[in-house]
Structure 1
Amino acid sequence: MEIQKTPVVAVTMGDPTGIGPEVIAKGLKEHMVGPEHTVIVGDPGVMRRAFDLVGLQLQIVPGTQPTNAADSIAVADIDLAGVTQIPIGKIDRLGGEAAARAIKLSAQLALSGQVDAIVSSPVNKTALNYAGYHYMDSTDFYTELAGKQSHILLIHGGNVNAFMVSTHVSLQHALELITVDRVLTTIEAAHATLTRLGSTHPRIGVVGVNPHMGENGILGREEIEILKPAMEAARARGIEVTELVPAESLVSWTQQGRVDGVVSMFHDQATTAMKPLGYSTFAIGLPFIRCAVGHGTAHDIAGTGAADPRIFVQTYQLASLLTKNGYLVGAHEHA
């Protein structure tokens, strides 16, 4: 009988002046994240400060491999002087550099096979830009480091899974990106990912583009000319695709059991509906498993002890589940 290996997860500390270090510390303290199978990628001093803030008695051991002990945790040092001197709650160039170094080191660990998955804590785009890293988001950063051109994003919250046809682009560009091939590729990625998450025969809904799903072409023809042909092509490949889903029902249809996941046409269509649930993201198409928390750095409450770790824990659990279920990374990529 094959013994299943517990996945090793690299957790980036995120922006050192935000809530990332604190939510990591709280997840560890509340025993919702196992230190023995985790490597934190960041600054040891910043993590020690976060541990002290929440009253976590955990030894920090330098290194890139887990300690395999419940009373200690490995921290892969980003080797950047002065990080602990940045005031907590301040957006700073050095904080952006620290977050970027954690991203780069975690990608190196994943690409070399030293870790099985990455969980990203929140970064601040302004700080990253101050430091010279001009990306729309950290997922684009990882995509470049992985040598890929694009990815498909899953937004996961509670039991709702939304797969994005486009993400951080203008609404005008998002509409241009809605093509039969792109929608079909996203449906296929949804089917593969939901299967790995435990759905035996996943049912996938496709969210309409226009109000009232176009009213049979009166309010727009994207549903007729693009979405329905993509849906039919997916059905021809053995994928169970339901009827079109109204955008306002994106969450409720999943909660009612009518679908197991939905394909969303653009960023705010999914995120606005799922924000109240608290969500995580998974970048499909990279050569490693990388999940991220769906909230920001919350500089206004950083260092106060008020940060909620539940989304971080959910993200960690999602990464672990994908790894344990043998997710085939790199299987789907947008053209």
Structure 2
Amino acid sequence: MKKVIGITMGDPAGIGPEISIKAFQNQSLYEKCNPLLIGDKSVIESYLERFPEIDLKVNAVSAPEEALYERGTMDVMDLASVEASTLQIGEVSKEAGNAAYHYVEKVIELALEGKVDATVTNPLNKEALNLAGHHFAGHTEIYGELTNTSKFSMMLADGDLRVVHVSTHVSLRQACDLVKKERVFDVIKIAHNACVSLGIENPRIAVAGLNPHCGENGLFGTEEIDEIIPAIEAAESVGMNVFGPLPADTVFSKARGGMYDIVVVMYHDQGHIPLKLLGFVFDKEENKWKEVSGVNITLGLPIIRTSVDHGTAFDQAGKMTASELSLENAIDYAVKLANNVD
């Protein structure tokens, strides 16, 4: 039985609708899973009207069991949250932010009820989200609250390079304060469980230091001595295969080369920069992104959530030129995780 994958449309004013259309056009999608878009029918239909060369029909449904899951048909769970005729493509608005929130809310509800096997999210805009009165830093925090989960973390993956974060959407000053033994241990455990769920036996977990040269024995900071090393020792004491702390300027090259299965990083940019350097390829001659790959996965939840690893790209929205590669990567990861649940 193919898994039902609930895919949110993302901010309707961004590139989410068009990369969803592109992904649903890919015939191999239906060989992997039964995909269901959670969004607005009118927005998708407006794209199909503007780009008649796209050979795709829309099937609006009110529940997953009504979907056809057939090639050439895009099943859309129509929430009627925004009207395409009044939507300003490529602009921040509370209307679009509110719609994007309700897509996420619905897909989480469906997953908790067991009506979809995994969830995949297209990008939303944090400013629009907050303008609409939904005060979250992003998808990860929405999922944490709506699933009543307190211990969760963000994982980014591109191929065999994986990173999982101790902190994400906080200031750098706050991020340093959040490097505590208990949190680092929890994230090491989350990283271990994530690798196991991907079929990796006895995963090799690298832990990055916070400070340059991992603090140089206290010369450049004591977080490694006071918090990170005790967390590593606690993880080792319960049988996890952990290495570190390791300098952040070399650990990612080692992980990419196959020395480690996953890297625990201390803050947002420490993990995002190496992943996006690898997965985001800009074509200087054509002045556009040639490739945007990578997946964002929220770990520690009672449901599966994967996501594209990029934003709403308002500057590209509405042109049908945005790459769907990251969305396809996210769907592949969701299917793999859902299959391993069994």
TM-score using structure 1 length: 0.91
Cα distance, 1:43 vs structure 2? 0.5
Cα distance, 1:315 vs structure 2? 0.8
Find the partner of 2:57 among 56, 59, 65. Answer: 59
Which aligned pairs between 1:196-215 and structure 2 lie closer than 5 A?
Answer: 196-215=197-216
Distance in 2 separating the partners of 1:299 and 1:280 = 20
Q: Is the 8 A contact 1:292 1:315 kept in 2?
A: yes
When the two structures are aligned, how many residues end up with a matched partner? 323
Distance in 1 separating the partners of 2:134 and 2:118 = 23
Distance in 2 separating the partners of 1:22 and 1:158 = 24
CA deviations on 1:38-64 (whole Å, 9 max, x unpaired) are: 110000121123345383322222222
Identify the residue that residue 331 of structure 2 maps to in structure 1: 316
SS of the residue 2:75 aligns to: strand
Q: Is the 8 A contact 1:54 1:305 kept in 2?
A: no
Identify the residue that residue 9 of structure 1 maps to in structure 2: 5
Distance in 2 separating the partners of 1:141 and 1:114 = 19
Please, which moves more after superposition, 142-151 or 231-240?
Answer: 142-151
CA deviations on 1:146-172 (whole Å, 9 max, x unpaired) are: 223352111112211111111111122
TM-score using structure 2 length: 0.89
Q: 1:136 to 1:81 in 2, by over 3 A?
A: closer
Distance in 2 separating the partners of 1:134 and 1:152 = 19
Cα distance, 1:78 vs structure 2? 1.1
Distance in 1 separating the partners of 2:228 and 2:22 = 43
Q: Is the 8 A contact 2:4 2:116 kept in 1?
A: yes
Q: Is the 8 A contact 1:205 1:261 kept in 2?
A: yes
Give the counterpart letter for 1:75 in structure 2: V
Identify the residue that residue 271 of structure 1 maps to in structure 2: 272
Which aligned pairs between 1:1-335 and structure 2 lie closer than 5 A?
Answer: 5-34=1-30, 37-51=34-48, 53=51, 55-63=53-61, 64-65=63-64, 66-276=67-277, 277=279, 278-326=293-341
Give the counterpart letter for 2:232 in structure 1: M
CA deviations on 1:64-120 (whole Å, 9 max, x unpaired) are: 224132232321111235244212112222111211111111111111111011100
Cα distance, 1:279 vs structure 2? 2.6
Distance in 2 separating the partners of 1:83 and 1:109 = 25
SS of the residue 2:297 aligns to: strand
Q: Is the 8 A contact 1:291 1:319 kept in 2?
A: yes
RMSD (CA atoms) = 1.8
Give the counterpart letter for 1:6 in structure 2: K
Percent of residue pairs identical? 35
CA deviations on 1:282-306 (whole Å, 9 max, x unpaired) are: 1122221111111110010111121
Distance in 1 separating the partners of 2:188 and 2:275 = 19
SS of the residue 1:248 aligns to: helix
Distance in 2 separating the partners of 1:49 and 1:191 = 44
Cα distance, 1:27 vs structure 2? 1.4
> Runs of 5+ in structure 2 lacking a partner?
280-292
